[in-house]
Amino acid sequence: MKKFLIACLCVLNVVCVNAQTPQLEWGPELVRPRKTDIGGLIGCDKNSFYCVRNVHSFFSVRTGAIEKYSKKTMTLEYVKEFKMPEVNGKELQYEDMFILNGQILVFSSAYFGDQNKKIAYVQKINTNDGSLAGSPKEIDQIVADKKRNSGSFSFIVSNDSTKILIARNDPYEKYANEKFSYKLLDGNTNVLWSASLELPYKDKNFSISNYRVDNSGKVFMLAKVLKEKEDRERKKPIYTFNLISYNNATKSLKEMQITLGDKYISDVSFAITPKGNIAIGGFYSNKSAAGLAGSFFMSIDKEKNQELSKGTKDFSTDFLTEFMSARRADKHKELYNYNIDYLVSQPNGGLIMVAEQFYINAVTTCQPKGGCTTTYYYNYNDIIVVNFNPDASIKWIKHIPKTQVSTNDGGYHSSYSFVVTGDKLNFIYNDNPKNLKPDADPRRSKNGISRKMVTVIVAMNLSDGNFKKTAMFSAKEEKIYTRPKIAMQLSKNQSLFYAIKRKKFKFGIITY
């Protein structure tokens, strides 16, 4: 247990960025146990937040401890060493962890060769002291002859955070129809219903990218389906995206194809709106599945499975000149490597879509006398934000210039955290101080990952998309570096983030 001990080094301090911007409050500086790091934030309740501490070895990363912190002071309340339990002499493998009904639920699985089964389990953690409660409870199983092809489980929290869906993906069969099974659990891990379904698509041609569960327990999934070779046409998409829904109350399975004619859908996601309909947002290309030429929006009545609105819009020349030369923009050259990170449903039925450019470059250098070294460059760059009206027209589209390049670290200090507060969209990330100068060229932004980086907040108006970037603190002055990927929203006007330097770390809370 000593290796998970965290010591408090300094008292709480408050920094006011300035009178018109959010307020930053630091927690105490803590000592990071050797060969460990915060692996993720589990969630929060009324008074506390919880995180997972990972232990790193040369070949692996494992969950080492559960930690509880005060939301008010960000002080450590407990560290509880975490070890996956055993069932029939076999240690369970960690799958996922959530907070539901004020308790932490840990999901795990194991393959038992003597039974030819992969079995999923759930166990509760007492939030008062971090201890495991009771024994692992079996919740699902997959029949599988071989461990290397034993299928998988996915765990999805419902829209209202009161239920959990277990999606079971059976072992891969290349020429068999796609089969999947579901179980819906309540907050106490009791089974509400279960179902097994089959679709007329070959396993090799079918993949699911998104799941959603509405408040009533209805299941929605977004699937990518490759066309059979005989159905493919030259210079046209060889795949379709299908929205599939299952209503256990009526035992009905519905499917709707998301199509833009001859356009290639580059990326797509969907959300359940406050009114209970489905809002779909994405990007498309006129040339290939990799490019971005514009954005699209669809609104679907989930009960009738009918389109309410649909529209596409190419990026304007003015918008493209923010990324490239005017000559290239006039030719409508496409953008590349953008991934949709967030969809925000609006009360009026509209949708806000947030995407970031991400890609990895690998450069291999070989010496004349032998021996090669490969360097991986992690690129987390510009952010695109699109605000769609309910009728599928675009209210506004904005571009936040950002350049973040690091090597062989997985983008440890890169990317951004995203918080919606009142009439603002807030983006927090690490930037180069030169990019904050009034004469900085957004098309030639400096790399934001360096020892001199500053943590900035971009506050964007929901009404018109106009935004302002402000430096919150300098890593050089505070002697600590933000990890934007480790962050979460605590309340309507507060968010939490994590910062680290060598053997020390601390949390910060931003009040908007």
For residues 181 and 234, is the Cβ–Cβ distance under 8 A? no
Q: How does pLDDT run across 202-246, given as a tens digit for each residue? A: 777 888 889 999 999 999 999 998 887 877 788 788 888 999 999
Beta bridge partners of 458: 427, 469
Q: Which string of b and e fits 286-318 if b means at least 16 CB within 10 Å?
A: eeeeebbbbbbbbbbebeeeeebbbebbebeee
* Separation between Cα atoms, residue 203 and residue 7, nearest integer Å: 52
Q: How does pLDDT run across 258-292, given as a tens digit for each residue? A: 999 889 999 999 999 988 899 999 999 998 888 99
Q: How does pLDDT run across 349-408, given as a tens digit for each residue? A: 999 999 999 999 999 999 988 889 999 999 999 999 999 999 999 999 999 999 999 999
Question: CA-based diameter of the chain, in Å?
Answer: 70
Q: How does pLDDT run across 446-505, given as a tens digit for each residue? A: 999 999 999 999 999 999 999 999 999 999 999 999 999 999 999 999 999 999 988 999
Q: Retrieve residue 473's tokens.
A: 């603190």
Q: Model-level pTM?
A: 0.91
Residues 6+ apart with CB under 8 A from 258: 222, 240, 241, 242, 243, 265, 268, 280, 298
